[in-house]
Amino acid sequence: MKKTGFSLLLAIGIVLNSFGWGQNGHRVVGQIASWHLNKKAAKAIKRILGSESLAMSANWMDEIKSDPEYRYLNPWHYLTIKTGEGYDPDIQEEGGDAFSKTNMIIAALRNGNLDAETKAIYLKMLVHLVGDLHQPLHVGTGEDRGGNDVKVFYFNQSTNLHAVWDTQIIEGKNLSYTELAEHLNRRADKSLIRKYQREPLEKWLQEAVGLRPIIYNLPENNRLSYEYGYQTFPIIEERLLAGGIRLAGILNEIFG
């Protein structure tokens, strides 16, 4: 019985560590996007989500993993790009990947031929997947499960590289998602918004691959603390801001 319980906890831990950004990271992306919606898109999204905000709907795709009926969504959170290569559909999981499914959802929402429930689910998925595509370790090498297999110590706590990037660096700032979103949104001038929103999804993947040398620049003992966080938090900030602004651009194009 104890062994079964331990196995269950281990399995849960593996699933949790595969999430893209922690809850606050995803909420930041949704919150920033909400500040950059045009009026028409904002009204359309309110009709779809009701009283639920983009920020609070951003984690639905992680939370629904607890329902066995939605386990097929697991590979949608990430994709694989080999170093020096581009997106290759032949090396992705059979059930789909973050890049192809984001494109599929955008096309379906743009088409508009969806019932109300499906439209709401697709919108929540889109908020989440745009966030995932801006977490660089969700564009993985295919060799270490997006950093999940890279065991590190973060402030003497045993963890893995993926969890450090998803959650621990962000939570170490001790900010609410609204505080972090507001802090980042102050950088969103018109030129930056235009730059982010005109870049296609393929560019997002190139950005993630380009960040790998920094992410994997670890000390020999794999013990991380202030220095690693200091070096990488500006990248995390930029990724969250880019994700929020780009999400708003997509939503304005679909619903505005």
Residue 3 is given by DSSP the state: H
- Give the pLDDT confidence score for residue 19 in this predicted structure: 58
- List Cα–Cα distances, 112 to 38, 60, 61, 81, 97, in angstroms: 18, 21, 21, 31, 22
- Give the pLDDT confidence score for residue 112 in this predicted structure: 87
CATH architecture of structural domain 2-255:
Orthogonal Bundle (1.10)
Query: CA-to-CA distance for 256 and 252, rounded, in angstroms?
Result: 5
- Give the pLDDT confidence score for residue 255 in this predicted structure: 97
- Give the pLDDT confidence score for residue 89 in this predicted structure: 97
- Give the pLDDT confidence score for residue 11 in this predicted structure: 37
- List Cα–Cα distances, 22 to 16, 17, 50, 128, 167, in angstroms: 9, 9, 24, 11, 5
Residue 77 is given by DSSP the state: G
Mean pLDDT by 10 residues, the chain (256 residues): 37 45 95 98 98 97 94 96 94 97 98 95 98 97 96 97 96 97 98 98 97 96 96 97 98 97
Cα dihedral 164, 165, 167, 171 in deg (nearest 10): 80
Locate 251 and state its tokens: 């939503």
Query: CA-to-CA distance for 111 and 145, rounded, in angstroms?
Result: 34
- Give the pLDDT confidence score for residue 21 in this predicted structure: 85
Backbone angles phi, psi at 172, to 5 degrees: -65, -15
CB distance 44 to 255 below 8 Å = yes
111 membership: H or E segment, kind and range: helix 98-111
